[in-house]
């Protein structure tokens, strides 16, 4: 992580309306807003506090628009008359009186607009923490007030142009624009809000006397007992005290199958109770549960600034000063050339068109939307710069064990000393393995059960496990033990191995396979050789990375022969026989010869390689979000998320560049037009609103999936739908199907 990217101001907070970060917030008692638009939107929607205030804000805007329409109509009547005057189509005394009346009516109707909209804009500018936008708003209000003053003097003198309609249009446009901007910003946080809303606001607790109580989520503390009914989310992390239920933790672990929770089992905050009733003893306060931490991680990620945002910030610094100079120059030039009113209009147009809103929104809007969308799809970026870095990646290196493979072994070869004993050996192996929780035991049961006929069940006694070695038991009161475990353990109890089996064992060891053996009566009866299972999506994910123009390869510590086999299976380069430090060297080589490298691993045994790459991507982070070595964490083990994340990162950077290009280009062209006096301030205000909305709308495109989205069911099925809804419906729906239903 770069220094700049890790700079988070401890005084920073989040806007109370759009929930986006507010930089350099000072201590305030009241609600905190990032801009005037958010303050206005919060007031209108009644989020800001009193209902009366909300109504007044809306009425204020409504009346201002109504009055502005009136001003516009009277102004058009004046223009109509000027048109007829120019054509010398009669100019009687009634026409002159009517014109005077219309000008006074314009003055009368537009003054309240200045008070209704200009006042709050001025207050908002003084209260906002975005210094650039505040200064621009301030200048706009001053410009509009100057236009009013000039027009008022013209009305009283009975000569000269009036520009009330310009003032009204500018105030209405700027106000509505700010409101729409705030609404757009709110949408960029909708993905994260959907996650946050999953947690209930109130929970059922059980007090010391065993009485049920209704408690606010924020009030629960470690040690409290929660009652969670079917269909409800578990509010925070804890341990089951009573009850039994299937719980879906897909949101947090990526595991789509529900897990049965019994007393003593850990549950994660955000898990969905599908069917039973649970009493959970809380182990983490409300804000420290798994889902709360996940949300917090994304929030923190948004606070850090990437390269493009730092560029925009630097430009914004001198931009306003430059605009002020241009506006002053424009005023002086037109004042000298044409007069004060033309000069005033041109300078106001410059100030309006050069409002730094679009420039300020260009990068954060895109980054925030992309981070939210990624979180919705179970991909967590540590910060915005990680997004930019991932977009630049030209090579992707995958770790093998636990990344391309499931980490769950499967039986590749089951060799017998005597083929005639197959059923008996298999039967005993299933009985012994069934009593063990070791991953090899699971693999043996999975492999043998479908092919083994259940004959007469033998009596089993004296079952005992030897830690790290295997499991032993007596069958049918035999005098000797039957053992399933490591070959060395079997041989240590004087079991002999036949030459055929010994050859099988030697071959398997050469191929880097793990082994288990079963034996009794002084002989090893069978040997299991295990291999790792490739994830079903591994081949496709590698192919998709290549389709994105990334050089994909696998780095593994396996034997070279095994590596060659893997290369054939996956169709990519496999660099085998690498120790951890050699993996780091291989990454450095790839960086030199190809470009920035992303390393995909499980973040446990390959942490050095993840840290040494340009972007470390860790799989299966759901249960452990604190894997610092990875800049990108995938909640699930789904490898398809890797190309998806690269695609999203590239689209985000494309959108950022488009936004910045538009903001710079629009300002350059607009300022030139306005300074030349060809742009009416009313049109400049409309253009300013349109420009900001364009940037917001362009950024919001990142909420959806790419048009050529990688073919993954999860991403395509939930297009545009909040993750939250999808998860709960799917989970509940699947669960409620009767057993055996098609």
Q: Which residues are known catalytic residues?
A: 399
Residue 181 Cβ, how far from other proteins at the closest point, in Å? 12
For residue 24, how many other CB atoms are within 10 A of its CB?
A: 11
Q: If you search the block for the tokens 């990526």, which residue do you land on? A: 254
246: alpha, beta or left? (left if phi > 0; alpha if psi -120 to 50) = beta
Nearer to other proteins, 59 or 736 (CB): 59
Nearer to other proteins, 106 or 660 (CB): 106
Contacts of 399 (CB under 8 A, 6+ apart): 554, 555, 556, 583, 599, 600, 601, 602, 605, 606, 609
**CA distance linking residue 485 with residue 472, whole number of Å:** 8
Angle at 56 between CA 50 and CA 60, to 5 degrees: 150
Nearer to other proteins, 78 or 538 (CB): 78
Nearer to other proteins, 16 or 265 (CB): 16
Question: Which helix (DSSP H) or strand (DSSP E) does residue 281 occupy?
Answer: strand 278-282
- Cα dihedral across residues 40, 133, 682, 118: positive or negative: positive
Residue 99 Cβ, how far from other proteins at the closest point, in Å? 8
**CA distance linking residue 308 with residue 310, whole number of Å:** 5
Strands (DSSP E) found in 61-189: none
Nearer to other proteins, 555 or 679 (CB): 679
Residues forming the site for other proteins (CB under 8 A) = 44-47, 54-55, 58-59, 61-63, 65-66, 69, 72-73, 76-77, 79-81, 83-84, 87, 89-92, 94-95, 98, 176, 179-180, 183, 186-187, 190
Take residue 321 and report the two structure tokens written for it.
């000063």
For residue 141, how many other CB atoms are within 10 A of its CB?
A: 23
Nearest-CA neighbor of 531 among 401, 421, 640, 618? 401
Contacts of 111 (CB under 8 A, 6+ apart): 148
Residue 535 Cβ, how far from other proteins at the closest point, in Å? 39
Q: Residue 41: exposed, middle, or buried by beta-carbon count in 10 A (0-12, 13-18, 19+)?
A: buried
Residue 41 Cβ, how far from other proteins at the closest point, in Å? 8
Nearer to other proteins, 309 or 698 (CB): 698
Residue 64 Cβ, how far from other proteins at the closest point, in Å? 11
Residue 603 Cβ, how far from other proteins at the closest point, in Å? 36
Nearer to other proteins, 98 or 706 (CB): 98
Q: Please, which residues bridge with residue 278 across strands?
A: 228, 243
Residue 186 Cβ, how far from other proteins at the closest point, in Å? 5
Q: Provide the 3-class DSSP secondary structure of residue 268.
A: coil
The length of the chain in residues reads 742
């Amino acid at each position: 992580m770069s220094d700049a990217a890790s700079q988070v101001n401890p005084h920073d907070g989040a806007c109370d309306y759009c929930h986006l970060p507010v930089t350099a917030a000072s201590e305030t008692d009241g609600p905190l807003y990032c801009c005037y638009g958010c303050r206005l939107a919060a007031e209108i929607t009644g989020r800001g506090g009193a209902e009366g205030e909300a109504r007044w804000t809306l009425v204020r805007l409504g009346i201002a628009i109504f009055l502005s329409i009136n001003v516009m109509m009277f102004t058009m009547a004046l223009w109509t008359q000027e048109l007829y005057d120019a054509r010398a189509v009669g100019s009687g005394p009634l026409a002159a009186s009517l014109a005077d009346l219309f000008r006074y009516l314009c003055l009368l109707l537009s003054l309240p607009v200045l008070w209704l909209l200009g006042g709050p804009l001025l207050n908002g500018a003084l209260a906002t923490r975005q210094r650039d936008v505040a200064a621009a708003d301030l200048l706009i209000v001053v410009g509009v007030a100057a236009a009013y003053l000039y027009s008022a003097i013209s009305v009283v003198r009975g000569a000269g142009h009036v520009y009330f309609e310009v003032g009204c249009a500018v105030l209405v446009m700027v106000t509505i624009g700010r409101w729409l901007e705030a609404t757009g910003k709110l949408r960029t946080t909708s993905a994260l809000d959907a996650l946050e809303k999953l947690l209930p606001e109130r929970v059922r607790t059980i007090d010391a006397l065993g009485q049920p109580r209704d408690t606010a989520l924020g009030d629960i503390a470690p040690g409290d007992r929660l009652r969670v009914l079917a269909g409800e989310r578990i509010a925070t992390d804890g341990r089951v005290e009573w009850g039994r239920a299937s719980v879906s933790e897909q949101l947090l672990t990526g595991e789509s199958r529900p897990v049965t929770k019994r007393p003593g089992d850990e549950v994660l905050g955000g898990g969905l109770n599908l069917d039973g009733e649970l009493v959970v003893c809380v182990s983490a306060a409300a804000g420290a549960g798994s889902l709360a931490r996940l949300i917090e991680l994304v929030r923190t990620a948004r606070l850090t600034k990437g390269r493009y945002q730092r560029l925009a910030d630097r430009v914004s610094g001198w931009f306003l000063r430059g605009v002020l100079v241009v506006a002053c120059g424009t005023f002086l030039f037109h004042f000298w050339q044409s007069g004060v009113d033309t000069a005033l209009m041109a300078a106001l147009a410059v100030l309006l068109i050069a409002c730094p809103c679009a420039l300020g929104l260009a990068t954060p809007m895109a980054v925030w939307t992309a981070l939210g969308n990624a979180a919705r799809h179970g991909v967590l970026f540590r910060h915005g710069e990680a997004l930019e870095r991932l977009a630049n990646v030209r090579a992707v290196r995958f770790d093998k064990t636990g990344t391309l493979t499931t980490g769950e072994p499967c039986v590749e070869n089951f060799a017998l000393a005597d083929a005639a004993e197959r059923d008996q050996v298999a039967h005993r192996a299933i009985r012994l393995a069934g009593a063990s929780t070791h991953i090899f035991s699971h693999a043996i049961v999975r492999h043998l059960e479908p092919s083994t006929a259940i004959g007469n069940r033998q009596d089993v006694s004296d079952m005992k496990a030897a830690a790290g070695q295997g499991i032993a038991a007596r069958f049918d009161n035999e005098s000797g033990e039957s053992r399933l475990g490591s070959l060395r353990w079997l041989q240590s109890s004087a079991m002999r191995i036949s030459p055929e089996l010994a050859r099988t064992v030697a071959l398997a060891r050469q191929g880097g396979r793990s082994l288990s053996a079963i034996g009794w009566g002084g002989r090893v009866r069978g040997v299991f050789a295990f291999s790792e299972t490739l994830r079903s999506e591994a081949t496709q994910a590698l192919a998709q990375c290549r389709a994105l123009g990334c050089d994909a390869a696998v780095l593994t510590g396996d034997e070279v022969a095994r590596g060659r086999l893997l290369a054939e299976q996956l169709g990519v380069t496999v660099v085998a026989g690498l120790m951890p430090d050699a993996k780091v060297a291989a990454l450095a080589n790839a960086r030199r010869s190809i470009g920035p490298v992303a390393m995909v691993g499980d973040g446990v045994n390959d942490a050095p390689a993840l840290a040494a790459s340009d972007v470390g991507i860790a799989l299966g982070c759901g249960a452990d979000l604190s894997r610092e070595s990875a800049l990108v964490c995938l909640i699930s083990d789904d490898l398809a998320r890797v190309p998806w994340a690269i695609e999203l990162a590239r689209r985000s950077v494309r959108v950022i560049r488009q936004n910045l290009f538009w903001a710079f280009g629009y300002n350059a062209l607009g300022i030139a037009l306005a300074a030349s006096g060809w742009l009416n301030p009313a049109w400049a205000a409309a253009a300013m609103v349109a420009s900001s909305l364009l940037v917001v709308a362009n950024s919001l495109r990142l909420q959806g999936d790419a048009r050529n989205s990688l073919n993954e069911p999860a991403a395509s099925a939930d297009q545009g739908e909040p993750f939250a809804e999808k998860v709960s419906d799917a989970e509940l729906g699947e669960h409620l199907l009767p057993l055996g239903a098609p």
